[in-house]
Structure 1
Amino acid sequence: MRYAQGGGLTDAEREARERVRLDAVARFEAGDRNKAIAATLRVSERSVERWRRQWREGGAAGVASKGSPGRPKLSGAQVARLERELERGPLAHSWADQRWTLARVKKLIGRLFRISYTVEGTWRLLKRHGWSWQQPARRAIERDDDAVELWKKEVWPRVRAPRRPATAGSSSKTRPASR
């Protein structure tokens, strides 16, 4: 079943949909035809065909809801371990710098738990557990702020070219009168 962009079923809607499927199972067992079941339950015949196939292959359990696809996949213990590993830093996990990116956290989750998250799912997991987005300051590690200030006060005034004084006609926007 397809839903509108960004849509899906809430837990209550999922339960209602499952009741419809289980009602269809009772009708399969009674020997009703797909067209009659679809009309009675007000669903498409294709859905009824799909449910019948799932029922034949797995019984009533084959038609049961698989649950929300957006539920967290990590247990509480796994999240605690992930947080410990994140606190150790990226260098401890063989990355060359000290930045945790979502792609790196996603890869770390895959390495530690053999579970695949999307980048967006990784962000939601981290946000749900109190981690926040941070923009690293773009500064060289070797930067010495005191030396920079000293250079700006003492060296820069000597280095920069002095400004030419504005003289009439040098850069004025007035034009001589036309003849």
Structure 2
Amino acid sequence: MAAGGSTAAALDAWIVFEDEAGFSMTPPIARTWARRGCTPVIRVRGRSRRRVSIAALTCYKPGQRSRLIYRPRRDDGRRDGRKSFAWSDYRDLLQVAHQQLGGPIVLVWDNLNVHLDARLRSWIAGRDWLTVHQLPSYAPDLNPVGVWGLLRRGWLSNVAFTSPDHLIQTVRRGLRTIQYRSDLIDGCLTGTGLSLSLTTPRVQAQ
């Protein structure tokens, strides 16, 4: 994080973390209230293969309100259809982030094969406003896109989704609420133990 932090300070840039998650029609289970001896039962409409995938960016800059920017991708349920994000989806998401943030971006993400796609790397190389750092392998605890846990414990828990549209609407409603709660976005960063105290080193004569 030190390298990313010094780069961001020098460029007066946003530090942006990216992560993806998928949500299916089967709801996450959370604790709830019930009469003693009466375990609640959530009845769902079979085991639907349809799901929604979300790529999200948590964006931080000292002195600025933290932001959440996301892009959904809906699975049509076909066996031959693409279920994950393509390199062009990440390109479009980063372009939107640059427009919304209005400044340089230092992007931190994992070693997902699509992130390493030659076409995406070529596109990144041509953007002077974008600097990319890879997270170490097998280090998900360093990525503060913890909005997935907020969704699963909150808006999505114990919900009997009636259709893929119902699932997508619920996910969007939760993400929109988080977008207005910068304290929740800040909490995701705090949970990693990382810090945004980006200061320029002082040179002192000996």
Same fold (TM over 0.5): no
Higher relative contact order (CA 8 A, sep 6+): 2
Q: Which has the higher helix share?
A: 1
Q: Normalization by structure 1: what TM-score?
A: 0.21
Q: Normalization by structure 2: what TM-score?
A: 0.19
